[in-house]
Amino acid sequence: MDIQRFNGKYHRASEVAQGVLLLEFNRPPVNAFNDDMWKELRSIVDDISNTPEIRVVVLSSALDKVFTAGLDLKAQIELNSPSLDPARKAIQLRDHVLDFQDAITSLERCRQPIICAMFGTSVGLAIDLACACDIRLASRDTTFGIFEVNVGLAADIGTLQRLPKIVGNESKVKELALTGRKFGAAEAKEIGFVSEMVGNGRKDVIAAAVDMAKMIASKSPIAVIGTKHLINHARDHTIEEGLRYTAIWNASMLQSVDTTEAMTAVMSKRVPQFPSFGGPASSSNSKSKAKL
Amino acid sequence: MDIQRFNGKYHRASEVAQGVLLLEFNRPPVNAFNDDMWKELRSIVDDISNTPEIRVVVLSSALDKVFTAGLDLKAQIELNSPSLDPARKAIQLRDHVLDFQDAITSLERCRQPIICAMFGTSVGLAIDLACACDIRLASRDTTFGIFEVNVGLAADIGTLQRLPKIVGNESKVKELALTGRKFGAAEAKEIGFVSEMVGNGRKDVIAAAVDMAKMIASKSPIAVIGTKHLINHARDHTIEEGLRYTAIWNASMLQSVDTTEAMTAVMSKRVPQFPSFGGPASSSNSKSKAKL
Amino acid sequence: MDIQRFNGKYHRASEVAQGVLLLEFNRPPVNAFNDDMWKELRSIVDDISNTPEIRVVVLSSALDKVFTAGLDLKAQIELNSPSLDPARKAIQLRDHVLDFQDAITSLERCRQPIICAMFGTSVGLAIDLACACDIRLASRDTTFGIFEVNVGLAADIGTLQRLPKIVGNESKVKELALTGRKFGAAEAKEIGFVSEMVGNGRKDVIAAAVDMAKMIASKSPIAVIGTKHLINHARDHTIEEGLRYTAIWNASMLQSVDTTEAMTAVMSKRVPQFPSFGGPASSSNSKSKAKL
Amino acid sequence: MDIQRFNGKYHRASEVAQGVLLLEFNRPPVNAFNDDMWKELRSIVDDISNTPEIRVVVLSSALDKVFTAGLDLKAQIELNSPSLDPARKAIQLRDHVLDFQDAITSLERCRQPIICAMFGTSVGLAIDLACACDIRLASRDTTFGIFEVNVGLAADIGTLQRLPKIVGNESKVKELALTGRKFGAAEAKEIGFVSEMVGNGRKDVIAAAVDMAKMIASKSPIAVIGTKHLINHARDHTIEEGLRYTAIWNASMLQSVDTTEAMTAVMSKRVPQFPSFGGPASSSNSKSKAKL
Amino acid sequence: MDIQRFNGKYHRASEVAQGVLLLEFNRPPVNAFNDDMWKELRSIVDDISNTPEIRVVVLSSALDKVFTAGLDLKAQIELNSPSLDPARKAIQLRDHVLDFQDAITSLERCRQPIICAMFGTSVGLAIDLACACDIRLASRDTTFGIFEVNVGLAADIGTLQRLPKIVGNESKVKELALTGRKFGAAEAKEIGFVSEMVGNGRKDVIAAAVDMAKMIASKSPIAVIGTKHLINHARDHTIEEGLRYTAIWNASMLQSVDTTEAMTAVMSKRVPQFPSFGGPASSSNSKSKAKL
Amino acid sequence: MDIQRFNGKYHRASEVAQGVLLLEFNRPPVNAFNDDMWKELRSIVDDISNTPEIRVVVLSSALDKVFTAGLDLKAQIELNSPSLDPARKAIQLRDHVLDFQDAITSLERCRQPIICAMFGTSVGLAIDLACACDIRLASRDTTFGIFEVNVGLAADIGTLQRLPKIVGNESKVKELALTGRKFGAAEAKEIGFVSEMVGNGRKDVIAAAVDMAKMIASKSPIAVIGTKHLINHARDHTIEEGLRYTAIWNASMLQSVDTTEAMTAVMSKRVPQFPSFGGPASSSNSKSKAKL
């Protein structure tokens, strides 16, 4: 695996353990996202999704005190400049929003699980990004905020859609989205936005995320990919639909060599070994674009 | 804004801060709801929704110890009187339930956010009402209860539909709905039904709600209306559907003057000023009926 | 009511209070589920659903330290044996998964509420089973685990579909499903998987469940059946759909004698009495198969 | 039944047979719809829906050569006048469209079936109106046209939503909507937009519609109301959902006296007699608003 | 294959060509359906679904002039007898309708395609049955009718759900369902209810159906089963959902040996040979219950 | 507009009228699609969607007797070669199918309407392609066929999903998909697959399509884009959902200058003139990727 190709102008990649990729935002001073940055993120994540050697991703920031402060406002203001015809302007704006949403959704459609390790300033777009990841951890020093309402707009890149479905307190979600106030890691844990509050600062939370990632990386990649995919599918379907889809999904996935390997390993108390999801027979074709 | 028109036989209205309306149930001794009362509530709330000067609503009770004790049972018993033909009776009953549901849903379809400030006795219909609001606060002295099962019926005005979707413990929701037992503010907070347990008694919880309302009232009304609308939309749609709808919604809303006003205010550290959502150009037509 | 017919090769039934059936898994040493066992479970539960005398069910285990250790792996390995044609094998596997799912779903479609009383080892299939019940209680000594990923497969009998919808922390759900790690009753309560952590060990949690069951058994069976049915319906529908369905459901159910009985009892402070849901007029036909 | 109350400034009502109401547009010279006219239509139709004596409606026009030429363009142009803020203007426009849609949808939510009898000029809004009716007949001389594209807009009052679902040629629907060309009764029949092409001119098509209406008016109103309601429900749901909803709908409706009356009449070859859907026991309360 | 087991008290089975089963209703004088008859039908069809040797089914009648006259009214009247409590009666009735619907739906969930060959009297339940089949042929002498409205009820076994989705003229569907009038084969073909009008009488239409069945029976059973399954799935899902489901379905089905066999046969112009869907490796387990 | 960039290795483009692009398949001898060809098609169509100067597309073939004979079978066989692990193979196959589907869906998501002009051999993939277009015309000499079943697979690129929703005879659709037999233009028109049967051979049908395209190209592009988009949206949503989405869509689109231009032109009987949808203010940014 060539780790270099996951580096970018605004992102830094490193293989921190067997099969575990640490991907960090890296645009000082505050990881403000302009269009180029989220386009780069999508490009890297879509590439990861097609790299069988990577089994889990930890998403964090290379800056010491900032996960991300969100949108680069200057770029946004430009986008909002008046147009001669509100209808034609609307077509432009809709395209832009859809494109931006798609970039953030790349985290969700990535085959491999993504653990989001947050700390310090984590506001605005930080919430949209985190909601599109699979597991969220936060250091004690994290400052969260759904800041979009403070800049005169309803969040449109995913927070309003995903956040209420992944936490257990819609009243609090609405309060946070409507007041635009800051909140801390403890409150985030209380409502179920993050699973755990771990340590204090960037290093601690990344270390905890990497530990968790290693555990996941030791499992069958077929089982791991399927578990992420099926939970995401379930969220948007009825129980009945989810069960039926699972049945046809597993109709092929249960034919994997991994199930037998895992079960016999469990029964004989040895550590199981699994080939990557691209497998020996398929490695040459595995570069097509990932799909939700 | 003529505050008088939001007063009614069973409701009391007051403007407690710029753009913040306090609406209180007012039918001593226990705010028991008969048909006239919920019809009046719908009429007032639909009117509020078309009053751009109102930016946030606090919903509470004018009685000292009771938010509401729920349905007026005597009216209900009358409704249940036998009929010659169960099919024709069913048509009547269905109409009545749909009409009642629609009245409670007026809180949800109201453009402006509604903060529900509960205390004392808050049982039966109190839960249906609160679930249709956006943010729920409760004083320490609140007694909650899903009492419908105690009077021989499955709750049909919204509790069974909304409650499981806005809290994080379906097991507890079913227990409360099936046993009809009382529960307190702490348990309500634990499952995520209320965001916060604040103070002790009516005055405290209303004061806390008004503070929160003021903060929301200072934001762009276009952003606030959109945020409420899009979160409600998201609840009933898949992530993909929600994102697409958001894109076309914001295709017009991002053309608002508010976004630029807010962003420039943020960058120059001044307090932004926003026109009401009815705006100068539209005030004459803004009286049409609000829609979900 | 003939209690004997709810006993089976792998299940033990007893009437522990008026209208309350205790059903216990009983396949020492660890209640490992083979195909015969889950087929027997479905058969018993479908029968319960058509027995009006039973008003609530408590589901637990007859073994002292084990709720269930999940699937009988040996049977599963056999199922995974290679086939000449992966397509024909897929048809077989899909049928098997759908059949197994249907057996677990019998708990959900059972008319009467089911309280799941867990303790000791409660892993793998234990989670699928519990998610299909209505109320979940756990003793302090319970060890939970979504173990499917450890045996090389994505859980396909319901956990991935139901668990995220009934708790308030999707981040934690994904972590547990992807790492396959153990977790305890406190963590289960924190995320909302169980309503309460009660006592220590099998006897305590069954006693608590039975107490809760008695309370539910004292309510109108029409109200209880409707409440379970409508909450389950709501989970898989929009609010609007849920409300409309409720209106036509209650159009007949409000014609029950129970509503009047309950309301007059409440007003005259006496204990209400309700006929079973099969009622006098219908007892002879009440043996048809229950439906979701 | 007081037939007068169904007359209006722009509509004319007459009882042309037992239980059959003929409602005609009546705004010479071309039945151009301004806001007042569609608001009046909604008001009349919602009233009809709650009048048990009316069993079927025939909707047509009182003008000799024109069903309707569609929107009153002058009113529409005024609505499109520029506004200071495109976002606030968008809120206004959305409200107006939703309100207009709701008025046309009153035909669909009306309990009783509505037969649309078209002739002569039937363009623009005529198609939206006809699509919201249940049965469509056209005289040989009818000129149809989806004219919205000719005035620079995508049809937004129902044609684009309903037409593709009620005919059997989406290719033709798109052609007609995108070219805005005229088409005749034969082409309308060929694609399934109208059931039959009958006679030549207003009198013929109204006579045919009234004959059909009489036949429907002789059936059980419980069966007729249910049939319309369930077909409309089915259109927007899966087969499974439709079947389940039908089961609970008929759980009360099969308790009607009409079923037995009809069956015994069939077996004894006599003409059955049915009370109106409001029935003796319910007539006093039957005035609540109709619901979809 | 033991053809005898598909015979029943009310049904007659014969193997009319390799892999083609002719199943005929056989309850003189008019194939009136009582509960036993539709329960037998379900049992036979569910068995067929698990018999790999059968590749296509032709469903018709053994009587010379009657496909079926529909429900046995006497049984139905009994079901409608009054009950003490309309709510408990409603539970009974709902169960009965759901059970009856499920029996008719067995035709739809049957893996193999079913061609419905109609002639003579084909009214009432005949329409429900035909709608649940895959392909419909009718002889010139067929008399159709949606007769439910004539006996005082809204059709509840599938006609109102399925018919509008499988034909191209909703106006006509509503007319036929609301008037309960008879219609002939030509009108049935015109609206798309039957694909073809063939010959005159029972023998002709059965012969045509068998010819079509033979053609289908010569194709890959994996391709045939998948085609039926995916078209049925598509009907109840969006295009996007349908495409995604198809992708995972074919992810295993494209691994069939049949595709290569068929493609090489096409290219070398020979007749392909396919094993039955149960295949050599799976025959012993193929008896589990079919699923939609 | 640089017409050259829409040419490709397998496609030929020409501007046949103001705003009308003719795009033709061009891979002699039979336009057999390999992966490169459908990837090129997607690339061209996505580019067209972002070219405001193009208002309508006619899709046809440059070969004289063949629209397309469908898939290049040799490439397909290679894809089906056995793999060591059916699960890993399934991941590959699913990716490939999803990618292929997405390429065909580019026709549907293209902003501008696409008229499909078919003639001669139009089998297999030809049907998938045509179903994803907006309007279908066929010359008298066309031979259609859903040939997938003949090569041992269930069609998975769109035919089974789209065809039943755009025609009016599901019985015929299933017959054609299950028998794989040929059918002609007359039968295609009868079931509503093509709007019209025009002339005889390639030149005639292209001429008719171009005439229709010119008519559409003369309309407001805002109205045309919206009409295509909203009809496609409606197909996959309930009437209510479709109406609500339309209201927010038109909330910005009605602010177009086109509506006033068109209405005043109609009233003054002159030919209206509309700017392209990219408009003066937006031309520089209009190159982002089109979205459904």
pTM of the model: 0.95
Q: How far apart are CA E248 and CA F91, in angstroms?
A: 9
3-state secondary structure of C84: coil
- 8 Å CB contact of C90 and E282: no
In this complex, is the C-beta atom of A97 within 8 Å of any C-beta atom belonging to chain F?
no
Q: What is the mean pLDDT of chain F?
A: 92
Q: Chain C closest CA to B67's CA: distance in Å?
A: 20
Name the residue among A245, A251, A292 with its Cβ closest to that of E245: A245
SS3 annotation, chain D: CCHHHHCCCCEEEEEEECCEEEEEECCCCCCCECHHHHHHHHHHHHHHHCCCCCCEEEEEECCCCEEECCECHHHHHHHCCCCCCHHHHHHHHHHHHHHHHHHHHHHHHCCCCEEEEECEEEECHHHHHHHHCCEEEECCCCEEECCHHHHCCCCCCCHHHHHHHHECEHHHHHHHHHHCCEEEHHHHHHCCCCCEECCCCHHHHHHHHHHHHHHHHCCCHHHHHHHHHHHHHHHCCCHHHHHHHHHHHHHHHCCCHHHHHHHHHHHHCCCCCCCCCCHHHHHHHCCCCCCC
pLDDT-derived band at C289, boundaries 50, 70, 90: very low
In this complex, is the C-beta atom of B244 within 8 Å of any C-beta atom belonging to chain A?
yes
Percent of chain B with pLDDT over 90: 85
What integer pLDDT is reported at residue D29 of this predicted model?
97
Q: How far apart are CA F196 and CA D183, in angstroms?
A: 14
Helices B35-49 and B86-109 sit at what angle, rounded to 10 degrees?
40
Q: What does chain D come to in residues?
A: 292
Q: How far apart are CA B57 and CA B134, in angstroms?
A: 10
Q: How far apart are CA C25 and CA C8, in angstroms?
A: 9
Q: How far apart are CA D9 and CA D43, in angstroms?
A: 12
**Using a CB-CB distance cutoff of 8 angstroms, which residues of chain D are in contact with residue F244?**
98
What backbone torsions phi and psi does residue A201 show, to the nearest 5 degrees? 105, 175
- 8 Å CB contact of D89 and A86: yes
What integer pLDDT is reported at residue C78 of this predicted model?
65
**Using a CB-CB distance cutoff of 8 angstroms, which residues of chain F are in contact with residue A247?**
none
What backbone torsions phi and psi does residue B145 show, to the nearest 5 degrees? -175, 130
**B226 pLDDT above the threshold of 50:** yes
Q: Please, which residues bridge with residue C145 across strands?
A: C123, C182
3-state secondary structure of C81: coil
Residue D75 neighbours by CB distance under 10 Å? 14
Rounded to 5 degrees, what angle do the CA atoms F248, F249, F252 make?
A: 90
**Using a CB-CB distance cutoff of 8 angstroms, which residues of chain B are in contact with residue D281?**
83-85, 88-89
Name the residue among F98, F253, F282 with its Cβ closest to that of A83: F282
Q: How far apart are CA F225 and CA D153, in angstroms?
A: 10
pLDDT-derived band at F161, boundaries 50, 70, 90: very high
Residues 136-155, chain C: which have Cβ within 8 Å of B? 136
Please return the burial class of C4, using the count of CB atoms within 10 Å of its CB with bins 0-12, 13-18 and 19+: exposed
What integer pLDDT is reported at residue F266 of this predicted model?
82
Rounded to 5 degrees, what angle do the CA atoms D107, D109, D114 make?
A: 45
In this complex, is the C-beta atom of F86 within 8 Å of any C-beta atom belonging to chain C?
yes
Q: Which fold has domain D3-217?
A: 2-enoyl-CoA Hydratase; Chain A, domain 1 (3.90.226)
- 8 Å CB contact of A247 and C94: yes
Residue C254 neighbours by CB distance under 10 Å? 28
Residue C186 neighbours by CB distance under 10 Å? 12
Q: Tokens 């005898």 — which residue?
A: E4
- 8 Å CB contact of A178 and B135: yes
**C180 pLDDT above the threshold of 70:** yes
Residue E72 C-beta-side C-alpha neighbours within 13 Å:
16
The identity of residue C56, as a single letter, is V
What integer pLDDT is reported at residue D62 of this predicted model?
98
- 8 Å CB contact of B151 and C266: yes
Q: Average pLDDT, stretch C116-142?
A: 98
What integer pLDDT is reported at residue C178 of this predicted model?
98
What integer pLDDT is reported at residue C83 of this predicted model?
65
pLDDT-derived band at F290, boundaries 50, 70, 90: very low
Q: Please, which residues bridge with residue C71 across strands?
A: C33
In this complex, is the C-beta atom of F252 within 8 Å of any C-beta atom belonging to chain B?
yes
Q: How far apart are CA C150 and CA A262, in angstroms?
A: 7
pLDDT-derived band at B130, boundaries 50, 70, 90: very high
In this complex, is the C-beta atom of D88 within 8 Å of any C-beta atom belonging to chain B?
yes
What integer pLDDT is reported at residue B2 of this predicted model?
87
Q: What single DSSP character describes residue F34?
A: -
Locate the chain C residue with the closest alpha carbon to E35.
C288
Residues C208 and C136: beta-carbon distance below 8 Å:
no
In this complex, is the C-beta atom of A268 within 8 Å of any C-beta atom belonging to chain C?
no
More confident residue, C263 or A289: C263
Residue E4 neighbours by CB distance under 10 Å? 7
Cα–Cα distances in angstroms (integers) from residue C85 to residues A261, A282, C166, E271, F121, in the given order: 21, 19, 39, 21, 34
Q: How far apart are CA F217 and CA D169, in angstroms?
A: 22
pLDDT-derived band at B289, boundaries 50, 70, 90: very low
Q: Please, which residues bridge with residue F57 across strands?
A: F21, F114
Residues B210 and B19: beta-carbon distance below 8 Å:
no
**Using a CB-CB distance cutoff of 8 angstroms, which residues of chain F are in contact with residue D177?**
227, 231
CATH of C221-273, one of 3.40.50.80, 3.30.2320.80, 1.10.12.10, 1.10.1530.10: 1.10.12.10
In this complex, is the C-beta atom of F12 within 8 Å of any C-beta atom belonging to chain C?
no
In this complex, is the C-beta atom of F281 within 8 Å of any C-beta atom belonging to chain B?
no
- The per-residue pLDDT for range F69-81, each reduced to its tens digit, is 999 987 766 665 6
What integer pLDDT is reported at residue F80 of this predicted model?
59
What integer pLDDT is reported at residue E2 of this predicted model?
87
Residue E97 C-beta-side C-alpha neighbours within 13 Å:
28
Residues F76 and F16: beta-carbon distance below 8 Å:
no
* Residues of chain E where predicted confidence (pLDDT) is lower than 70: 76-83, 279-292
Residues B285 and D83: beta-carbon distance below 8 Å:
no
**Using a CB-CB distance cutoff of 8 angstroms, which residues of chain A are in contact with residue F289?**
95, 99
Locate the chain D residue with the closest alpha carbon to B102.
D291
Contacts of E203 (CB under 8 A, 6+ apart): none
**F234 pLDDT above the threshold of 80:** yes
Q: Average pLDDT, stretch D233-248?
A: 97
pLDDT-derived band at B282, boundaries 50, 70, 90: very low
Locate the chain D residue with the closest alpha carbon to C254.
D252
3-state secondary structure of A160: helix
**C273 pLDDT above the threshold of 60:** yes
- Assigned token pair, C90: 């897929």
Q: Average pLDDT, stretch F217-242?
A: 97
- The per-residue pLDDT for range E116-133, each reduced to its tens digit, is 999 999 999 999 999 999
Q: Average pLDDT, stretch C88-109?
A: 96
More confident residue, D259 or F207: F207
Name the residue among A96, A253, A280 with its Cβ closest to that of F90: A253
Q: How far apart are CA C192 and CA C163, in angstroms?
A: 10
Residues A135 and A129: beta-carbon distance below 8 Å:
no
What integer pLDDT is reported at residue F233 of this predicted model?
98
**Using a CB-CB distance cutoff of 8 angstroms, which residues of chain D are in contact with residue C255?**
252
| Domain extents in chain A | 3-217, 221-273
3-state secondary structure of E185: helix
- Beta strand B114-118 pairing with B66-68: unpaired
In this complex, is the C-beta atom of C279 within 8 Å of any C-beta atom belonging to chain E?
yes
* Residues of chain A where predicted confidence (pLDDT) is lower than 50: 280-292
Name the residue among D245, D247, D252 with its Cβ closest to that of C251: D252
- Assigned token pair, C264: 């007059």
3-state secondary structure of E52: coil
In this complex, is the C-beta atom of E169 within 8 Å of any C-beta atom belonging to chain F?
yes
What integer pLDDT is reported at residue E81 of this predicted model?
61
In this complex, is the C-beta atom of C64 within 8 Å of any C-beta atom belonging to chain A?
no
**Using a CB-CB distance cutoff of 8 angstroms, which residues of chain A are in contact with residue C180?**
219
Where would I find the beta strands (DSSP E) of C81-204? 114-118, 121-123, 135-138, 143-145, 182-184, 196-197
Q: Please, which residues bridge with residue E121 across strands?
A: E66, E143
**D268 pLDDT above the threshold of 60:** yes
Which value does ipTM take for this structure? 0.94
In this complex, is the C-beta atom of F129 within 8 Å of any C-beta atom belonging to chain A?
no
The identity of residue F27, as a single letter, is R
- Assigned token pair, B31: 């705010």
Q: How far apart are CA C41 and CA C47, in angstroms?
A: 10
Q: What is the mean pLDDT of chain C?
A: 92
pLDDT-derived band at B259, boundaries 50, 70, 90: confident
Percent of chain D with pLDDT over 70: 92
**Using a CB-CB distance cutoff of 8 angstroms, which residues of chain F are in contact with residue A98?**
291
Give the chains touching E; criterion: ≥3 Cβ pairs < 8 Å: A, B, C, D, F
- 8 Å CB contact of B262 and A156: no
- In terms of Cα–Cα distance, which of F178, F148, F151, F173 is closest to F162? F173
pLDDT-derived band at C291, boundaries 50, 70, 90: very low
Q: Chain F closest CA to D250's CA: distance in Å?
A: 23
What integer pLDDT is reported at residue F141 of this predicted model?
97
Q: How far apart are CA F33 and CA B15, in angstroms?
A: 69
Q: Tokens 């002719």 — which residue?
A: E22
> Comparing B236-240, C283-287, F33-37, F247-251, which segment has the lowest mean pLDDT?
C283-287
Q: How far apart are CA A226 and CA D238, in angstroms?
A: 27
Diameter of chain C measured on Cα atoms: 73
Residues A163 and A130: beta-carbon distance below 8 Å:
no
- 8 Å CB contact of C152 and A258: yes
What integer pLDDT is reported at residue F7 of this predicted model?
97
Locate the chain F residue with the closest alpha carbon to E164.
F168
**F203 pLDDT above the threshold of 70:** yes
How would you classify residue F195: left for phi > 0, otherwise alpha for psi between -120 and 50, otherwise beta? alpha
What backbone torsions phi and psi does residue C95 show, to the nearest 5 degrees? -55, -45
**Helices in C8-85 by DSSP H: which ranges?**
35-49, 73-79
What integer pLDDT is reported at residue B291 of this predicted model?
47
